[in-house]
Amino acid sequence: MKKKVFIRICAAMAAFFLITGCVPQPVDVSGEISVANKSLMDSFIKGDIESLTMAYTENAKLFPTNSPVIEGKENIRAYWEGATSMGITKVDLETLSAEAFGNTAIEEGKYALFVEGDFIVDEGKYIVIWEKVDGKWLLAKDIMNTSLPAPDNSMNFNSGNIFGLHHLKITLKENVSPAEFEKFYTEEYIPEFEKLFPGVKIYLLKGERGANKDKYGGFICFKSLEERNYWIPEPGKMSEKGIETLKIFQPWQDKADKMFTEELISYTDWLVF
């Protein structure tokens, strides 16, 4: 009896090693995927949306942040056309890892979106499932999400709506540490500003890569175009109500002026689609 049990155990172990030995081992294809991403980035900079679209499989799906699934080449084409119309001038893709299992590869990476002046307005992470078709790696599933704080329910991000957006570049004064600035900006400056200016949200950006590493930027978002025009009817010009409200905010602005400067990089109306 014991001999039969022993034989069965040995047979089971042999079968296990036989099966696991047949499972294909992952192959590092980081170099190949980085080359494919370089082509994507070049196409976007050139405004060649056709080449960008052709980098996806016929039934590809895109999973952007705060958006429904975008399926099919035509819809993906419209998505990237929308990105260029919103002022995005460059997309940076950094492959962290990419492993292939036969003709399927899984990539983990980080992205950054730039506007005019080579200023980062969004950073995040992504996972892409690639498929090799006729010897070429194509995107099949493109999943991305921003590292920025999530907007609250006061922001109207429904499909087809427009909201105003300002891009800011923030430069710290020499005697101000990053920790001191971040504490003041997130715990005092932003809460007081948003309390006095209903319908406005401020988001702080901190660069994580390249020349923008540890540099700061920000978004001033308006929940609607009407809200934006109520406070700022045109670039660089506050409404009378806005000027009155800024006077109330002056104590926090005085403290801010001692710590950092802000530069308006661009002024955009964004269509949420």
CATH number of residue 178's parent domain:
3.30.70.100
- Residues of the chain with pLDDT > 90, as a percent, come to 43
Residue 60 CB-density burial (10 A; 0-12 exposed, 13-18 middle, 19+ buried): buried
Alpha helix (H) residue ranges in the chain:
2-22, 30-46, 49-54, 73-85, 178-184, 190-196, 225-231, 240-257
| Structural domain count, the chain | 2
Which tops the pLDDT comparison, 230 or 211?
A: 230
Of the chain, the end-to-end C-alpha distance in Å amounts to 70
242's tokens:
């806005």
Looking at the fold, whether 125 and 174 belong to one and the same domain comes out as no
Is it the case that residue 70 has pLDDT exceeding 90?
A: yes
Is it the case that residue 160 has pLDDT exceeding 50?
A: no
Looking at the fold, whether 137 and 174 belong to one and the same domain comes out as no
Instruction: Provide φ and ψ at 115, rounded to 5°.
Output: -115, -175
Whether 261 contacts 218, CB under 8 Å: no
198 pLDDT band, cuts 50/70/90, is confident
Looking at the fold, whether 142 and 223 belong to one and the same domain comes out as no
Q: What is the mean pLDDT of the chain?
A: 81
Nearest to 218 by CA among 173, 172, 179: 172
Mean of pLDDT values over 246-271: 82
Looking at the fold, whether 171 and 97 belong to one and the same domain comes out as no
pLDDT digits (tens, 9 = 90+) for 217-240: 777 777 777 787 888 887 678 899
CATH number of residue 105's parent domain:
3.10.450.50
Which tops the pLDDT comparison, 144 or 167?
A: 144
Identify the top-confidence range among 43-47, 197-201, 204-208: 43-47
Report the predicted TM-score, pTM, of the whole model to 2 decimal places: 0.62
35 falls within a domain: yes
Looking at the fold, whether 230 and 130 belong to one and the same domain comes out as no
Domain boundary among 146, 171, 192: 146
Q: How far is CA 110 from CA 150, 161, 273, in A?
A: 18, 28, 23
Distance, in Å, from the CA atom of 132 to the CA atom of 57, rounded to the nearest integer, reads 9
Q: What is the torsional sign of CA 182, 183, 188, 194?
A: positive
For 104, the domain range is 27-146
Domain boundary among 104, 119, 146: 146
